[in-house]
Chains A and B, each alone.
Chain A
């Protein structure tokens, strides 16, 4: 029996590998895919001769090159939501301390290669915002407990061996994060108008020193004070009072303030202090770097920086001077990282780290070339004059011919012009910090950027990019709207722009109300713009643009929407007077909503049914209004129970529900065509499982032309099947093609950093009563889904912290665009049924020409020979 099963398994695997193998060839690497790596917003940075060592808010430690924006190495540490880098020390080796408030990892990294040298952990019982200090090879951990005491522990930085047991030092002046700072070897705090400092490294000193702030800054009212770290030649801190900072040098006996004031963002590099100032004189170079002498405060050089215009306000993170040339690392409010070289003030490189946190993605078709547009224009100009139309036609066609002959090559590559197969696109990306990017799919280069200040995503996770008009309607430009939240007030923000050029005519519009729900109407107005309907928190309906109101009115009897409030789902209808009336409500009970999925709007279903072996058709239940939801709730017996629902978004009818006991997140839902796929973790068997459910109408199709949610005569038949995945899915999506003829692939991002394509055929539930074999193009059921390395679409380009996978159809039916984002950005194209509509890459044009001409020549030669022969025979 076992033998038989193994035979079946091997046969089926070979079938799969033959029929479905879709791997790349090695020479296709980088031909149509690209990858960009990011590190996130920089937290600490140190120069280490020819390289830069940084840690970031994404809990990453990395080394950057000074020559270009390349990452030399990058190590991704624990989840940044739970743990953050806390300290970076670069000496011979790189030492990082990362963790949360009571669990810390101390790691040593080899600075040229980035491999781990040592790792040990510090676990403390009480949690505190710790301070760290490295002196020689001793790591000092200072845990302050504001108002009562601090605990100081010395460790051997390499081994974690305790050099000096935890000392409890009762000092009432100890404060929190911005009231205290490290001035190696002192721990300095400001409290009640007094500056206190304590030598935490040296064993002799056991008492603190103090001095009143008044004597340091010479003002009677100390005001709101806080401290910042300052790395000078002597132990020092920056004492900041109302945006005005002073360097305070500290020694065993006294503290002394240097006689000049700075802004709070100043750093010390080789005998000079550098700070940034706004440059009001030159509108092209808005930023100026000023240097001051450390001792006297005398102004040294002042350099205008060629700072790129699109970036946010900068601040200095680190600096280094070598032989008269100084490098300053600037970070900006939009997370960009810039390396500036002094004394020229030249920008060496800029890294757009905002792309490490993408919240919304949309693919855009490019407009037609000017030449094609001019042909279109012929129809736009409604002139009836035959002569002018004829001359126009002739002139455009001669221009076309001219272009074809003289600059045929150039035309294809000249800028952002639509290509024949729709493979060249612009990806518009909205990031967490509110910066928009237009990215070219062919090269991965950034075409345009637009920074929206004070904008944040809804619930910190999503912005809405809605496509009102595509570039199809030349000469009208494409139009796209971004909906987000104001970072300060939480009110809605809308930004209308042209996705191809990144230009906006109206700029940011603050809406003045909170957005509860928004959607794009599927109907166009006279300018081919699809209106946006926004529902405010008080259920008022707003329509953008205003001209769209008539469209909404016209279609008000067929416009329904749903809103989710926790696990209560409510359906509404828009009335002609722009009021919402609740139509239905579904309460999913006291649980947590973990996933929602709807069918992609632009998805088309090509085949309406499945042909069974008896040659009858089993019709698919294709309901475009279905919403798939997943909830998790705690259960005393089964730990957690996962429930999955399919609800009709118009009528609120629950078409299907299933529950899984002892299930755990993360749950990923994918709903497409007539099926649903979801993944979860089975706690009983400690494995990840994937379930596929497919909906059928039966042997009779109720309505073959248009689907109506109200026309339900009977519930759909549902087939389900579940599988085991040997890896941990972190994101799931399904491929999308222009007409839906091509097979579907499920794209699954794994925790291992690979994106795997799984053919839907492998998951499709098998009919229990129908034999499954190759003649039915059916693969026998296997409990474990094989994930061969050939199915990894990003091959050896491991992607860190995959967040989402976005797909869009190309003009070519066989192909879809794929963008994977997370800490890295990866774009590729997939062809689930292979590129059946394209000639093979290795198609030999020369051979076919050779054969054809050979045949023609041969036929003439033989004809000649034959006639010669007949002539000779006739003479005989």
Chain B
């Protein structure tokens, strides 16, 4: 309902202004009924410093390229030869994002600018005309790489694998000074005790190897396999 009343108001305004308007804009509104969309671009503060030549890299697209405009040195934009209708005005810059605006020009040459809402198309949130397009933010095209942090390194599974057993080996025996547990530990150790052959033995056995010490060689092979599994 609000929308309708607003619309009526607009019509009234348009009629009211008509006599003044037609005189004032007789030049724009030539016989062909072509209008001009005007506005200004307000870049972010770091914008001009980072991009010395931002005006040349910025383009205005009306309805996705049906009409186009360029940006002058002072940031003003102008799109010529637009007949009456409803248009989406987009500002394109490779580095910064701008919010598009819908500009409506009625057959009498009255302008209205509003926010683009594709879902609720009848919702009108007016924005000033001539357009004032502000850069929203710097466009983020890239994912941020994870930074190298010491905690990441420490909690890395491989580092944990190396450090934790070391801690266990070094610290556990010292923690267990209790004689009874020591005894138990010794028992367990004696149970699990098995001799790994010396590296030098292995090599000499292997080199000396052959048929004479086939049993030994087999054992060596087994050991090697065991090592591989490590």
Bitwise, A783-819 to B at CB < 8 A (1) or not (0) is: 1100001101001111000000000000000000000
Considering only residues 128-178 of chain B, those with a C-beta below 8 Å from chain A are 139-145, 156, 158-159, 161-162, 165-166, 169
Q: Which residue of B lies closest to A752 (CB)?
A: B92
Give me 18 A-to-B residue pairs in the complex whose CB atoms sit less than 8 angstroms apart, sorted by A's number: A23-B142, A25-B143, A78-B67, A114-B56, A117-B72, A119-B78, A119-B80, A123-B81, A685-B118, A724-B119, A727-B64, A730-B64, A752-B90, A796-B95, A842-B145, A855-B161, A855-B230, A858-B166
- Is residue B41 within 8 Å, beta carbon to beta carbon, of the partner chain? no
Known A-B contacts A23-B141, A115-B56; the reply to A798 vs B119 at CB < 8 A is: no
Q: Which residue of A lies closest to B199 (CB)?
A: A860
Q: Which residues of A contact B217 (CB under 8 A)?
A: none
On whether the beta carbons of B86 and A752 are closer than 8 Å, the reply is no
On whether the beta carbons of A79 and B199 are closer than 8 Å, the reply is no
Q: Which residues of B contact A75 (CB under 8 A)?
A: 56, 70
Nearest-Cβ distance from residue A161 to partner chain B, whole angstroms = 11
On whether the beta carbons of A113 and B121 are closer than 8 Å, the reply is no
Nearest-Cβ distance from residue A787 to partner chain B, whole angstroms = 11
Instruction: Give complex CA distance A9, B112 in Å.
Output: 31
Known A-B contacts A23-B143, A26-B142; the reply to A110 vs B193 at CB < 8 A is: no
- Is residue B114 within 8 Å, beta carbon to beta carbon, of the partner chain? no
Instruction: Give complex CA distance A784, B117 in Å.
Output: 10
Q: Which residues of B contact A120 (CB under 8 A)?
A: 80
Instruction: Give complex CA distance A860, B92 in Å.
Output: 65
On whether the beta carbons of A851 and B121 are closer than 8 Å, the reply is no
Instruction: Give complex CA distance A750, B90 in Å.
Output: 12
Q: Which residue of B lies closest to A103 (CB)?
A: B81
Bitwise, A771-789 to B at CB < 8 A (1) or not (0) is: 0000000000001100001
On whether the beta carbons of A113 and B70 are closer than 8 Å, the reply is no
- Is residue B73 within 8 Å, beta carbon to beta carbon, of the partner chain? yes
Q: Which residues of B contact A295 (CB under 8 A)?
A: none
Instruction: List the one stretch of B11-19, B27-35, B204-212 in contact with chain A.
Output: B27-35
Instruction: Give complex CA distance A62, B70 in Å.
Output: 14
Known A-B contacts A120-B80, A855-B161; the reply to A115 vs B140 at CB < 8 A is: no
Q: Which residue of A lies closest to B169 (CB)?
A: A862
- Is residue B107 within 8 Å, beta carbon to beta carbon, of the partner chain? no
- Is residue B224 within 8 Å, beta carbon to beta carbon, of the partner chain? no
Most A CB atoms within 10 A — which of B59, B69, B118?
B118
- Is residue A218 within 8 Å, beta carbon to beta carbon, of the partner chain? no
- Is residue A741 within 8 Å, beta carbon to beta carbon, of the partner chain? no
Bitwise, B34-57 to A at CB < 8 A (1) or not (0) is: 100000000000000000010110
- Is residue B101 within 8 Å, beta carbon to beta carbon, of the partner chain? no
On whether the beta carbons of B81 and A686 are closer than 8 Å, the reply is no
Q: Which residue of B lies closest to A788 (CB)?
A: B140
Bitwise, B64-95 to A at CB < 8 A (1) or not (0) is: 11011111110000101100001010101011
Residues of A with Cβ closer than 8 Å to B? 21, 23-27, 29, 73, 75-79, 103, 105, 107, 110, 113-121, 123, 125, 685-687, 724, 726-728, 730, 750-753, 783-784, 789-790, 792, 795-798, 842, 847-848, 851, 854-856, 858-860, 862-863, 870, 873
Question: Assuming A73-B56, A847-B158, A870-B189, what are 15 further A-B pairs, CB within 8 angstroms?
Answer: A23-B142, A26-B142, A78-B67, A115-B55, A115-B70, A116-B71, A117-B72, A119-B69, A730-B64, A751-B64, A752-B61, A783-B119, A795-B142, A797-B94, A851-B161
Instruction: Give complex CA distance A792, B53 in Å.
Output: 23
Instruction: Give complex CA distance A873, B145 in Å.
Output: 54
Instruction: Give complex CA distance A479, B212 in Å.
Output: 64
On whether the beta carbons of A789 and B73 are closer than 8 Å, the reply is no
Q: Which residue of B lies closest to A753 (CB)?
A: B92
Known A-B contacts A113-B56, A784-B118; the reply to A796 vs B73 at CB < 8 A is: no
Q: Which residue of A lies closest to B66 (CB)?
A: A79
Q: Which residues of B contact A118 (CB under 8 A)?
A: 72
Instruction: Give complex CA distance A858, B169 in Å.
Output: 11
Nearest-Cβ distance from residue B99 to partner chain A, whole angstroms = 11
- Name A728's contact: one of B65, B169, B199 (CB within 8 Å): B65
Instruction: Give complex CA distance A615, B214 in Å.
Output: 57
Considering only residues 103-132 of chain B, those with a C-beta below 8 Å from chain A are 116, 118-119, 121
On whether the beta carbons of A25 and B142 are closer than 8 Å, the reply is yes
Q: Which residue of B lies closest to A751 (CB)?
A: B64
Q: Give 8 nearest A-B pairs by CB, closest first.
A: A728-B64, A751-B64, A795-B141, A116-B70, A796-B94, A115-B56, A26-B142, A115-B55
Instruction: Give complex CA distance A25, B147 in Å.
Output: 12
Instruction: Give complex CA distance A576, B115 in Å.
Output: 64
Instruction: Give complex CA distance A103, B186 in Å.
Output: 101
Q: Which residue of B lies closest to A105 (CB)?
A: B80
Q: Which residues of B contact A114 (CB under 8 A)?
A: 53, 56
Q: Which residues of B contact A854 (CB under 8 A)?
A: 162
On whether the beta carbons of A726 and B230 are closer than 8 Å, the reply is no
Q: Which residues of B contact A103 (CB under 8 A)?
A: 81
- Is residue B196 within 8 Å, beta carbon to beta carbon, of the partner chain? yes
- Is residue B97 within 8 Å, beta carbon to beta carbon, of the partner chain? yes
Known A-B contacts A790-B141, A796-B95; the reply to A116 vs B55 at CB < 8 A is: yes
Q: Which residue of B lies closest to A22 (CB)?
A: B143
Q: Which residues of B contact A798 (CB under 8 A)?
A: 92, 94
Instruction: Give complex CA distance A796, B95 in Å.
Output: 7
Nearest-Cβ distance from residue A264 to partner chain B, whole angstroms = 36
Nearest-Cβ distance from residue A100 to partner chain B, whole angstroms = 11
Nearest-Cβ distance from residue B7 to partner chain A, whole angstroms = 16
Q: Which residue of A lies closest to B230 (CB)?
A: A859
Q: Which residues of B contact A727 (CB under 8 A)?
A: 64
Nearest-Cβ distance from residue A461 to partner chain B, whole angstroms = 19
- Name A121's contact: one of B63, B70, B81 (CB within 8 Å): B81
Q: Which residues of A contact B193 (CB under 8 A)?
A: 870
Nearest-Cβ distance from residue B133 to partner chain A, whole angstroms = 15
Q: Which residues of B contact A726 (CB under 8 A)?
A: 116, 118
Q: Which residues of B contact A847 (CB under 8 A)?
A: 156, 158
Nearest-Cβ distance from residue A539 to partner chain B, whole angstroms = 41
On whether the beta carbons of B162 and A851 are closer than 8 Å, the reply is yes
Q: Which residue of B lies closest to A99 (CB)?
A: B81
On whether the beta carbons of B64 and A123 are closer than 8 Å, the reply is no
Known A-B contacts A115-B56, A115-B73, A724-B119; the reply to A125 vs B31 at CB < 8 A is: yes
Q: Which residue of A lies closest to B53 (CB)?
A: A113
Instruction: Give complex CA distance A513, B107 in Å.
Output: 53
Most A CB atoms within 10 A — which of B65, B67, B166?
B65
On whether the beta carbons of B53 and A25 are closer than 8 Å, the reply is no
On whether the beta carbons of A123 and B162 are closer than 8 Å, the reply is no
Most A CB atoms within 10 A — which of B61, B63, B72, B141?
B141
Instruction: Give complex CA distance A343, B26 in Å.
Output: 57
Nearest-Cβ distance from residue A117 to partner chain B, whole angstroms = 7
Instruction: Give complex CA distance A261, B30 in Å.
Output: 49
- Name B141's contact: one of A792, A855, A863 (CB within 8 Å): A792
Q: Which residues of B contact A73 (CB under 8 A)?
A: 56
On whether the beta carbons of A123 and B30 are closer than 8 Å, the reply is yes
Instruction: Give complex CA distance A413, B169 in Å.
Output: 50
Nearest-Cβ distance from residue B36 to partner chain A, whole angstroms = 9
Q: Which residue of B lies closest to A29 (CB)?
A: B142
Q: Which residue of A lies closest to B195 (CB)?
A: A867
Instruction: Give complex CA distance A110, B71 in Å.
Output: 12
Q: Which residues of B contact A862 (CB under 8 A)?
A: 169
On whether the beta carbons of A724 and B118 are closer than 8 Å, the reply is yes
Instruction: Give complex CA distance A25, B81 in Å.
Output: 42
Q: Which residues of A contact B141 (CB under 8 A)?
A: 23-24, 789-790, 792, 795-796
Q: Which residues of A contact B166 (CB under 8 A)?
A: 858
Nearest-Cβ distance from residue A645 to partner chain B, whole angstroms = 26
Nearest-Cβ distance from residue B77 to partner chain A, whole angstroms = 9
Nearest-Cβ distance from residue A197 to partner chain B, whole angstroms = 32
Known A-B contacts A103-B81, A123-B81; the reply to A858 vs B162 at CB < 8 A is: yes
Instruction: Give complex CA distance A75, B58 in Å.
Output: 10
- Name B61's contact: one of A119, A685, A751 (CB within 8 Å): A751
- Name A107's contact: one of B70, B165, B196 (CB within 8 Å): B70
Instruction: Give complex CA distance A741, B141 in Å.
Output: 27
Q: Which residue of B lies closest to A28 (CB)?
A: B142
Q: Which residues of B contact A870 (CB under 8 A)?
A: 189, 193
